[in-house]
């Protein structure tokens, strides 16, 4: 029997165990000092993302599984990687100030990935803390190319792209399902058996168009011998696979455990993706 797979990728909101108060308390303690537990990148391109990472870790946000977490103690020292990390963790993001302001514990980046700070006092005129130019309580509205990241219990509308039936990673219109930079957190496949692996979690299996997964995912497996592949958030496309073996990290599924997926392509099938807008 030949299956027609209808793939739906969508993003859902998640409640993240993160204490803004603890993150801000850490920022206040270490804004003008260096914690010997972590490496200091001040003379190696800048310590801003590294310091914000430390604050996030102090607040209880697990980021050691994020792409680019090569810093001592599990930090993410490079701003673009930190931005992708927050998205993969389900944080909301915007290139303009949120209408109600950005909350305490949020992150602002500047210069199109060149600098990052932690929000220590929220609102539409936030105050921030950061390293490289060490500051605590500084004006958060400066620089250009600003992006805002924040978390919490939120309600977000899912927007859907049109169904596609192509298999071409160079064709953003019809070649794959996904939106680079937005984490895929769940999967539905019609009339088939499939599974997703949640970042830092376990494999979740499903069949017949039921939901598999409810958190950012780093692995996809589809039964039936179909060829499929995935794109890594902040990275590139991995080689295609054809098998379904959750214990075979080389050929049994698409993905690299610990690295979030933001797009999927399936050969010869019809599929669609959604994202938070």
- For residues 52 and 169, membership in a common domain is answered with no
What CA–CA distance (Å, rounded) separates 216 from 236? Answer: 17
C-alpha distances in Å from residue 24, one per residue of 69, 106, 116, 142: 21, 10, 15, 20
Residues paired with 203 in a beta bridge: 197
So what's the pLDDT on residue 215?
Answer: 66
- Is 83 a domain residue? yes
So what's the pLDDT on residue 177?
Answer: 80
Query: What six digits make up the tokens of 32?
Result: 């003008």
- Is 1 a domain residue? no
On whether the CB atoms of residues 26 and 59 are closer than 8 A, the answer is yes
Name the 3-class secondary structure at 179. coil
So what's the pLDDT on residue 269?
Answer: 79
- For residues 60 and 162, membership in a common domain is answered with no
- For residues 47 and 139, membership in a common domain is answered with yes
Which CATH number do you get for residue 100? 3.90.1720
Q: State how many domains the chain has.
A: 2
So what's the pLDDT on residue 5?
Answer: 38
- Is 103 a domain residue? yes
Query: Containing domain of residue 257, as a range?
Result: 6-14+157-276
- For residues 168 and 225, membership in a common domain is answered with yes
- For residues 32 and 140, membership in a common domain is answered with yes
So what's the pLDDT on residue 265?
Answer: 87
Buried b (16+ CB within 10 A) or exposed e, 233-264: bbbeeeebbeebeeeeeeeebbbbeebbbbbb
- For residues 10 and 62, membership in a common domain is answered with no
- For residues 209 and 136, membership in a common domain is answered with no
Run of H or E residues at 216? none
Select from 150, 182, 206 the last residue of a domain: 150
So what's the pLDDT on residue 26?
Answer: 95
Select from 150, 178, 204 the last residue of a domain: 150
On whether the CB atoms of residues 94 and 86 are closer than 8 A, the answer is no
Strand residues in the chain grouped as ranges (E): 6-10, 92-94, 107-110, 115-121, 127-130, 135-139, 147-150, 158-160, 177-178, 186-189, 193-198, 203-207, 217-222, 228-232, 261-266, 270-276
Global pTM? 0.55
**Backbone angles phi and psi of 50, in degrees to 5:** -60, -45
- For residues 93 and 57, membership in a common domain is answered with yes
- Is 78 a domain residue? yes
What CA–CA distance (Å, rounded) separates 159 from 252? Answer: 31
What CA–CA distance (Å, rounded) separates 184 from 213? Answer: 9
- For residues 125 and 179, membership in a common domain is answered with no
- For residues 146 and 161, membership in a common domain is answered with no
- For residues 197 and 272, membership in a common domain is answered with yes
**Backbone angles phi and psi of 64, in degrees to 5:** -65, -20
- Is 33 a domain residue? yes
What CA–CA distance (Å, rounded) separates 94 from 59? Answer: 22
- For residues 146 and 162, membership in a common domain is answered with no
Select from 107, 134, 150 the last residue of a domain: 150
- Is 166 a domain residue? yes
So what's the pLDDT on residue 274?
Answer: 59
pLDDT in tens, the chain (277 residues): 223 333 444 443 333 468 898 899 999 999 999 999 999 999 999 999 999 999 999 988 889 888 899 999 999 999 999 999 998 888 989 999 988 899 999 999 999 999 999 999 898 889 999 999 999 999 998 889 999 999 854 444 456 667 788 889 999 889 888 777 666 777 777 778 888 897 667 899 988 888 877 766 789 998 999 998 998 876 899 999 999 999 999 999 999 987 778 888 888 877 766 565 4
So what's the pLDDT on residue 153?
Answer: 46
């Amino acid at each position: 029997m030949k299956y027609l797979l209808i793939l739906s990728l969508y993003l859902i909101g998640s409640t993240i165990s993160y204490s803004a108060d603890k993150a801000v308390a850490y920022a206040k303690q270490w804004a003008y000092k260096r914690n010997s537990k972590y490496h200091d990148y001040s003379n190696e391109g800048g310590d801003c993302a590294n310091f914000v990472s430390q604050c996030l870790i102090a607040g209880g946000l697990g980021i050691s599984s994020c792409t680019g977490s090569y810093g001592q103690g599990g930090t993410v020292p490079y701003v673009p990687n930190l931005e992708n990390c927050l998205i993969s963790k389900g944080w909301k993001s915007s290139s303009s100030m949120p209408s109600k302001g950005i909350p305490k514990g949020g992150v602002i980046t500047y210069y199109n990935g060149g600098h990052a700070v932690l929000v220590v006092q929220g609102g539409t005129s936030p105050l921030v803390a950061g390293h490289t130019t060490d500051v605590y309580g500084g004006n958060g509205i400066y620089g250009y190319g600003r992006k805002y990241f924040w978390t919490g219990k939120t309600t977000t509308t899912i927007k859907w792209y049109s169904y596609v039936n192509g298999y071409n990673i160079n064709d953003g219109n019809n070649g794959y399902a996904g939106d680079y930079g937005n984490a895929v957190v769940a999967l539905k496949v019609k009339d088939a058996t499939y599974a997703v692996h949640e970042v830092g979690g376990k494999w979740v299996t499903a069949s017949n168009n039921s939901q598999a997964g409810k958190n950012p995912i780093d692995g996809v497996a589809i039964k039936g011998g179909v060829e499929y592949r995935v794109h890594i958030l902040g990275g590139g496309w991995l080689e295609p696979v054809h098998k379904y073996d959750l214990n075979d990290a080389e050929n049994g599924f698409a993905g690299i455990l610990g690295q979030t997926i933001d797009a999927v392509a399936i050969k010869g099938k019809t599929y669609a993706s959604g994202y938070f807008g």
